[in-house]
Amino acid sequence: METRPLASTDSTTVTPPISGWRTSTRTSATQTCIEVGGAPGIAGIRDSKERDGPVLAIPRARWQEFLEQLKSGGRRS
């Protein structure tokens, strides 16, 4: 499956294939969850129940910022 950024000023921009998809260890079969994968400089996020569906591709630095905010309880440093 090819993944593309949601918005781009250059319509020829294509995100490299995202691999290494993983799901939280807290996920159970009855929960709706996301999976996270990666490519150089990119974090990919998709619905674990729709693996062939759309992928949100964001810069890895922004994903890291999001994770840090979660760990700090939403407080910005």
Residue 51 lies in a domain: yes
Coil, helix or strand for 59? strand
pLDDT in tens, 14-55: 567 899 999 877 777 667 788 999 999 999 999 888 888 899
β 19-23/42-47 pair status: unpaired
Q: Please report whether residue 48 resides in a domain.
A: yes
Amino acid residing at 1: M
What is the residue range of 41's domain?
Answer: 19-24+31-71
Nearest to 58 by CA among 38, 32, 34, 35: 38
Of 7-11, 41-45, 55-59, 69-73, where does mean pLDDT reach its minimum?
A: 7-11
- Kindly state whether residue 49 falls inside one of the protein's structural domains: yes
Would 65 be classed as within a structural domain?
Answer: yes
Q: How many residues in the chain?
A: 77
Pick the closest to residue 38 from 24, 22, 26 (CA basis): 22
